[in-house]
Structure 1
Amino acid sequence: MDNTKTNTGKTQVGTTGPVLIIGAGLLGASLGMRLSKLGVPVFLRDIYPVVSALACDMGAGQKWEEGGSDPALVIVATPPDVAADQVIAALKEFPSALVTDVASVKSVILEEVAAAGADLSRYIGSHPMAGRERSGTAFAREDLFESRPWVVVPNQETDPGAVLAMRSLALDVGSLPLQLDAQTHDQSVALVSHVPQLVSSLLAAQLAKALPESLGLSGQGLRDTTRIASSDPALWAAIIAGNAEYVGKVLRGFADDMQQVLHALEHPGVDIPSPSLVGAVTLAMRQGNLGAARIPGKHGGAPRRYQEVMVKVPDKPGTLGQLFLAVGETGTNIEDLELEHSPGAAFGVARLAIDPNSAASLAEKLQVKGWEIVSV
């Protein structure tokens, strides 16, 4: 059941509950906060009482008490290395409940649940493609799933009603549901999530031995490519281990391409720069251009080209908000935003991605309002 509007204008929620969330970390607490705000009865259970207590204080639900009403839906939001055990236990403990997990890997969990002889008709895997560099309950947000894909992963025995229930859950929390089988899911996330995490972490690891003078030169490019390197090592070790086969295949392709560039760097030939080195780097860059161009646009459709309007933003409280207000007053939509700020600088540069037909006009209007345009 999709979200609709009633005659009173209130959102009608497809998930009725009660919902039991097992694991009150980032995903579990964020789900609880969103569902609780929608009026769905939510209960929380975590092996660490302090974690569930914090999540309750944040508005994610109530502490689960044994002997209460059985849940209609159980959401296992634990790390992937223990998710299968929790799913199996929940299917046994609550024989009338639909059980899902939100782990980042799906095949290994399905295999373990099936091997245990659990009721697969009531189990459906799922994976909200949402998260943060920081894990843990304290970083939970009720809007974490807004406009993010939510993968629904039924097995061959999953009841059709369970698929509808999971689609409703995704829509209720603001996500965009799509359906994949477990193998396709794991292949996909290896490419778009798991290997990017490893590559970012490996690059950031080189900074640990860098000279302070070198780090002082860092710009937005380095920040962009290492942003997710602050992620939880223990959690990601469990995720990568659970998807080792597909991560290994993607990482091998990455390593092969890297090796070609490395070979050219280490064997430049007589001429400097050598044709082979220039060719290897050019090929790598062109292949990267092609890959980047295939990343879907913000609405999930084909990539769209925008023009950048670069605006100098003084490093003072409220100036970025004033810039947004000024852009809004021109009637122009900001399609994307990046903010560059060098250490110690008295200003930053906001890179506004704008429809090409509106870029020049926006720049002129902002200049009239007193903003300094760096480039269009």
Structure 2
Amino acid sequence: MRQGFDTWLLIAVLLLVLCSVCFVYTASSAKAERNYDDSAFFLKRQLVRLLLGLIAMFVISRVDYHDILARAPLLYGVSLILLIVLLLLPESMAIRGSRRWFVYGPLQVQPSELAKFCLIFYLAANLAKTQIDVRNFMDGLMPQLVLIGATALAVVLEPDMGTTLIIATVGMFMLFLHGARLQHLFALVSTGVLVAIALLLRVEYQRDRVESFLASVFGAAEPGWQVKQSLIGLGDGGLLGLGLGKSKQKLLFLPDPHTDFIMSIIGEEMGLIGTLGVLLLFFIILWRGFRIAQAAPDASGRLTAFGVTLAIGLSAFVNIAVITNLLPTTGIPLPFVSYGGSSLIVHLAAVGVLLNISQSVKPKKAGGVTKIPLARTKWYHDRKR
């Protein structure tokens, strides 16, 4: 029996999108006026991307998620090919030392955003097959690790350590929830951390970011310029903020305040109250997303909803941790809020999948909500009986 959309999830996402419209304009107006003689330059581009993202969300919400998962191998293959092609581009096409985008005139496409969710879909579709037992390392777990490792390796070589961290974390949690042994995952995570550190130290600008971060944490130096200006902005905002449009950091003190550091502008203009309001909206998305995962009718739906929700939550966490100097700068945008096409459109499309799964959740029984085990998933519990 089909249910309605999850209203709480939809409202939270739409409110974050409204924040994007408001704060992309106020954060970018000074830079847009200076560079393009049009204070609304970035806002106009964001509105076009927002329209495309909302269309994608509502169209996908009407497509049965089983149909999407049936095409997951194709989607995964296309996303992996795009990542490989990106790595083959000449160094001259790198932007700020990283090859993360295909650039064609004003259009920039970031394949890693697409690959992140295509991997989740493919992994969910694979794990839902009853013949796969991830407790068996070679026959069950290893093929799934190849999927995760191929995507993570292609992304880390761009290099994009933040997205790699999210991809690996989501993949490991999905495997754990499906019954993978803790000792296997612990060994894999330990190895992955060592490999990530080795790759990180190869790239000069990322090594500099980590050294700057560690120096600031241990008091040997001030934070880097971006983080320092971010912290100043958050501090100036106080409890109630300076007022909408009255940010000082956007006046070219904070580089690109409308992208990765947009939360700093929100905190400066709307204060602690506004910042907590945005965090509350992300909490609602996590709450509803995990509820959808818990009540989904089958293993593929549960794993997909969990993976998508965790990816959104981790992206928000990493972004906010960076602007508050809890993590080194990673380049991860704030989902639904930061300026940018690939992130906005792909995240809205992923919410469309969540909304579709929410229409298939099991109805309430007389004693309350029907609860299906999320940890280790229903399939795993069935095998143990």
- Please, what TM-score do these two structures have when normalized by structure 1? 0.22
More strand by share: 1
Larger radius of gyration: 1
